[in-house]
Amino acid sequence: MKSAKTIRRGLLSGGLLVVVLQAPLWAQSVSAAPVELVRQTVQNELESNNAAKFVFREREETGHGSQTKVIVQTKELAAGMLVAINDKPLTEEERQKEQARLDELVNNPQELKKKLKTEKEDTEHTNRIVKALPEAFLYEPDGVVTGTKEMGNPGDELVRLKFRPNPDYAPPTHTEQVLTGMAGYMLIDKDKRRIAKIDGTLEKEVGFGWGILGRLNKGGRFVVQQGTMDTGMWQVTRMDLDFTGKILLFKKLAIKSTQTFSDFHEAPANLTFAQGVELLKKQAQEVATNPPQAASADQVRK
């Protein structure tokens, strides 16, 4: 459904001096105030878009089972091919249908143009949320943890900051309104100035925009994690969403999914969408002979 997919894509001031003065020594060494660390990190996130493109696997688990896709980032937009359902490779007939779907897309410039427009809009919405982080919340130091390749960079120190809504923040658009009811914590690599994890829970019902109008119920939660994996470059490695609410105040909304991203490999430079589809076909054949592994119970709970 368009609304659920759009929200899924999108879900990527107030550092009080008194907090810093009362914080332990490690926190005082981070920056003049927690909000300054967040502000510097947000600026770096927005400027750190990878020039390199990658091929990787995306596994999404919902209450209906799981789907695994191979995704390739091209110079135009990302292309994805379904390769497994419930961790079982597609049958030959299913694979042929999936390839035919992508071939049709390659030969439909108007549809490709529409997908590119949607992708750009989603990026703009996500950037609006990220830009709002320093002003939308009040931050408080809450210890440190050690990074891993799935969450930060192995061995790096990650500063943990608790956050809660800033009562003085006025969302400029419906997109940022979801932040006004959220509290949780953030992990930041203090040396790399990158966000390793955000874990937020809605403390009250809030409205949202993102191209549609609706409301999200209290208790909704999202987790987004980034890591360097084996590429040395930061990638989103995990995203958990658990929201209920209403769209246009009438239709019920329920999103509960866990997405994990793995097996990153750099894609050929200047890859076109059509070339990306051909690469996906080869990847799909590999998956047929090398089935993806199901996530363990411990991985799902992490």
User: What is the reported pLDDT for 4?
Assistant: 47
Average pLDDT, rounded, for the chain: 84
pLDDT tens sequence across 223-263: 999 999 888 899 999 999 999 998 876 788 889 999 999 99
Locate tokens 């390659």: which residue? Answer: 106
Q: What DSSP state is assigned to residue 271? A: -
pLDDT digits (tens, 9 = 90+) for 157-192: 999 999 999 999 999 988 898 899 999 999 999 999
**Kind and range of the H or E element at 242?**
strand 235-247
Residue-range domain boundaries for the chain = 2-301
| Rounded Cα distance, 39 and 135, in Å | 9
Q: How many Å from the N-terminal Cα to the C-terminal Cα in the chain?
A: 28
User: Tens digits of per-residue pLDDT, 54-85?
Assistant: 999 999 999 999 999 999 999 989 999 999 99
**pLDDT at 126 > cutoff 60:** yes
- How many other β-carbons are positioned within 10 Å of the β-carbon of residue 184? 19
Cα Rg of the chain (Å, integer): 20
Predicted TM-score of the model (pTM): 0.81
| Residues 230, 149 contacting (CB under 8 angstroms) | yes
Instruction: Report pLDDT digits (tens) over 93-103.
Output: 999 999 999 99
- 3-state class of 38 per DSSP? helix
